[in-house]
């Protein structure tokens, strides 16, 4: 294990734990209340789910930030569009590395990023339960691919030959 990715692995484990706790709470507390269509019950479900999605997505962004800190020496983004640029940087191939995430995952994460933005800047009472539920399903489908691609990227980086490992050419004089 490359020590530079120690924090990345910790953040990935923490994000998986957050997702599991959120999904367990949803299953045990929120889903059983779906028959209750009183405005207060809908609000509680919608806000709790939106908050859970936002928390897990933020964890995913933190994982990508840690990867980019190691492989690119940081995230190159301005504050106005930091989150969109973070995703774009992770999806871009550079002369020093492959893409951290593929295009399909980028598109799904970008949808979750837009949801996160909407959840954070709007009043929560205007969120529609159906819209939040669609994003919950997207998160459930996206996280396994995210986790697999991050792990695969880290493993490929750790197994990449360094300059000192590469054979030198011998020249005869």
Please check the confidence at residue 172 and state whether its pLDDT lies above 60. no
Q: Residue 93: its pLDDT value, please?
A: 97
DSSP three-state, residue 97 = coil
Provide the residue count of the chain: 173
Please check the confidence at residue 170 and state whether its pLDDT lies above 80. no
Residue 151 lies in a domain: yes
Residue 132 lies in a domain: yes
User: Domain limits at 37?
Assistant: 3-158
pLDDT in tens, 33-84: 999 999 999 999 999 999 999 999 999 999 999 999 999 999 999 998 999 9
Please check the confidence at residue 120 and state whether its pLDDT lies above 90. no
Long-range CB pairs of 81-90, under 8 A, 24+ apart, other chains included: 83/113, 83/116, 83/117, 84/110, 84/113, 86/61, 87/113, 90/64
Q: Residue 171: its pLDDT value, please?
A: 43
Residue 165 lies in a domain: no
Residue 138 lies in a domain: yes
Q: How many structural domains comprise the chain?
A: 1
CATH of the domain at 62: 1.20.120
How far is residue 139's CA from residue 58's CA, in Å, rounded to a whole number?
12
Residue 128 lies in a domain: yes
How far is residue 27's CA from residue 22's CA, in Å, rounded to a whole number?
9
pLDDT in tens, 134-149: 999 999 999 999 999 9
pLDDT in tens, 104-117: 999 999 999 999 98
What does residue 38 show for φ and ψ, rounded to 5 degrees?
Answer: -60, 145
Residue 51 lies in a domain: yes
Residue 17 lies in a domain: yes
Task: Read off the tokens for 66.
Answer: 């840690």
Residue with tokens 């489908």: 141
């Amino acid at each position: 294990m490359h020590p530079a990715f120690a924090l990345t692995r910790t953040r990935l484990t923490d994000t998986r734990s957050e997702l599991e706790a959120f999904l367990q709470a949803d299953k045990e507390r929120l889903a059983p209340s779906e028959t209750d269509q009183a405005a207060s019950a809908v609000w509680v479900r919608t806000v709790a789910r939106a908050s859970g999605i936002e928390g897990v997505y933020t964890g995913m962004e933190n994982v990508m930030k840690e990867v980019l800190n190691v492989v690119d020496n940081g995230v190159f983004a301005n504050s106005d569009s930091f989150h969109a640029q973070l995703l774009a940087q992770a999806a871009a191939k550079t002369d020093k590395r492959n893409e951290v995430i593929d295009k399909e995952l980028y598109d799904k994460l970008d949808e979750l990023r837009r949801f996160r933005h909407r959840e954070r800047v709007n009043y929560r009472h205007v969120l529609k339960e159906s819209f939040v539920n669609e994003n919950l399903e997207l998160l459930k489908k996206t996280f396994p691919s995210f986790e697999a691609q991050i792990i695969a990227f880290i493993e490929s980086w750790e197994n990449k030959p360094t300059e000192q490992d590469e054979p030198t050419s011998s020249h005869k004089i």
